[in-house]
Amino acid sequence: MKENAIRSLLFVPGDNEKLIVKALASEADAVIVDLEDAVSPDHKPRARQICREVLGARHCNGKPVFVRVNGFDTDHTARDLAAVMGGFPSGIVLPKCEHADDIGRLSHGLEVLEARDGAEIGRTRIVTVATETALATLQLSGPRVDPTGRLWGMLWGGEDLSASLGAQSNRDEHGAYTFPYQYARSQCLFAANALGVVAIDAVYPDFRDLTGLADETRLALRDGFGAKAAIHPAQIAVINQILTPTADQLDWANEVMLLLQDRGVARMDGKMVDLAHKRVAQRMLARAAALR
Ligand code: COA
Ligand code: MG
């Protein structure tokens, strides 16, 4: 999996094979086949089967495929994992992740199934959905480590969190997230960057409003998110375009790298640039290289 190359991750319901194949053929950099909220309880067994078949049928053409299993708040997780791991998904998305221990618990399960299926131990990455409950959001404060080495990214989401908080809405009259959700979003951004994993911005549910999506994606880029999740193929081009460094940004990055080749600080266009700018420049160049 070329990590810096993932800008967009497209969710698709796990019980709809036609849609999964469409998602795999889309321009999304990665696909998340959902076994959780997009699949009703009585469809879960069928969804597991479809997901395993799609993974095994090599429809994926090298596109990273994650599977969102049901969380440890249900009794589905083990069955989901046992059913899909033989298809060697790139990673597992763990929803309702409330404690750092949940990552260890998932990792143990993955290890056993990797051994069962003759896969390299540790190959399956983990993405947590990190802010779905009040407790989960609070737990993101404080020092964290990932002893499993599997964590690839952390996704935040405002929809389940509003249910957990008993909120009537998570956005104001202009469509912007209200403070509790900006807090959760920031918690995810801090925790992901503290761990050195990708901070993934939440889905934009109003999939017909591409202008709103573009604004929200620009905010995500500005603040340091590395990727954004999507629910509809029409959202992918917008996300990919905004999260691809422009020629001007790359010129800037190359100039910063050149100026700071053998010193810590320099003047560029009348302003100071230092190591902090160099890190931003390195991130942009790494992304551009990964996308080539
Ligand atoms: N992946 C792949 N293809 C998708 C898709 C997705 N997530 N969402 C829509 N499409 C396809 C449709 O099948 C349709 O294809 P067609 O033109 O060949 O018939 C086309 O894109 C246009 O779809 P549209 O009619 O605009 O949307 P819809 O009303 O059919 O579906 C949703 C809307 C929200 C139900 C659908 O986009 C969806 O299920 N998204 C994913 C939801 C999800 O997984 N949620 C869990 C995480 S938050
Ligand atoms: Mg949910």
In whole angstroms, give the CA distance from residue 170 to residue 161.
9
Check if the beta carbon of residue 22 is closer than 8 Å to that of residue 231. Answer: no
The model carries a pTM of 0.96
C-beta 23 within 6 A of ligand 1: yes
**What is the reported pLDDT for 17?**
96
C-beta 67 within 6 A of ligand 1: no
| 3 pLDDT tier (thresholds 50, 70, 90) | confident
From the CA of 159, give the closest atom in ligand 1: 48
- Please state the separation of Cα 199 from the chain's center in Å: 7
If DSSP codes are grouped into helix, strand and coil, which group holds residue 107?
helix
Query: Computed from CA positions of residues 128, 59, 122, 105, in that sequence, does the dihedral angle turn out positive or negative?
Result: positive
**What is the reported pLDDT for 276?**
93
Contacting residues for 276 by C-beta, under 8 A, at least 6 apart: none
In whole angstroms, give the CA distance from residue 147 to residue 92.
17
Which residue has tokens 């800037």?
Answer: 252
What average pLDDT does range 267-277 have in this prediction?
95
What average pLDDT does range 145-164 have in this prediction?
94
What are the helix (H) ranges across the chain? 17-25, 44-56, 77-84, 100-116, 134-139, 159-165, 179-195, 210-223, 236-242, 247-259, 275-291
Ligand 2 center–CA 111 separation, angstroms = 26
**What is the reported pLDDT for 143?**
75
Check if the beta carbon of residue 65 is closer than 8 Å to that of residue 24. Answer: yes
What average pLDDT does range 45-50 have in this prediction?
98
With left for phi above 0 and alpha for psi between -120 and 50, is residue 252 left, alpha or beta?
A: alpha
Q: Whose CA is nearest to atom 19 of ligand 1?
A: 19
**What is the reported pLDDT for 283?**
93
Q: Taking ligand 2, which is a single-atom ion, which protein residues have CB atoms under 5 Å away?
A: 37, 160
**What is the reported pLDDT for 145?**
85
**Residues 198-231 pLDDT 10s:** 999 999 999 999 999 999 999 999 999 999 999 9
In whole angstroms, give the CA distance from residue 184 to residue 60.
33
Contacting residues for 83 by C-beta, under 8 A, at least 6 apart: 48, 49, 51, 52
Has residue 59 got a pLDDT over 90?
no
Ligand 2 center–CA 131 separation, angstroms = 10
| 142 pLDDT tier (thresholds 50, 70, 90) | confident
Angle among Cα 260, 262, 265 to the nearest 5 degrees reads: 45
Contacting residues for 246 by C-beta, under 8 A, at least 6 apart: none
- Please state the separation of Cα 115 from the chain's center in Å: 26
| 62 pLDDT tier (thresholds 50, 70, 90) | confident
**What is the reported pLDDT for 2?**
77
Ligand 2 center–CA 56 separation, angstroms = 26
**Residues 217-270 pLDDT 10s:** 999 999 999 999 999 999 999 999 999 999 999 999 999 999 999 999 999 999
- Number of Cβ within a 10 Å radius of residue 60: 18
Average of per-residue pLDDT values in the chain: 95
**What is the reported pLDDT for 57?**
87
C-beta 230 within 6 A of ligand 1: no
**Residues 90-112 pLDDT 10s:** 999 999 999 889 999 999 999 99
**Residues 176-197 pLDDT 10s:** 999 999 999 999 999 999 999 9
- Domain coordinates of the chain in residue numbers? 3-244, 249-290
Q: State both tokens at 221.
A: 């880029």
Which residue has tokens 């959202």?
Answer: 235
**What is the reported pLDDT for 61?**
76
Ligand 2 center–CA 178 separation, angstroms = 19
Q: What CA dihedral angle connects 51, 52, 55 and 58, to 10 degrees? A: -120
The residue with greater pLDDT, 143 or 110, is 110
Helices (H) and strands (E) in the chain, counts: 11, 10
Has residue 131 got a pLDDT over 80?
yes
**What is the reported pLDDT for 274?**
96
Superfamily of domain 3-244: Phosphoenolpyruvate-binding domains (3.20.20.60)
Check if the beta carbon of residue 235 is closer than 8 Å to that of residue 206. Answer: no
Has residue 1 got a pLDDT over 90?
no
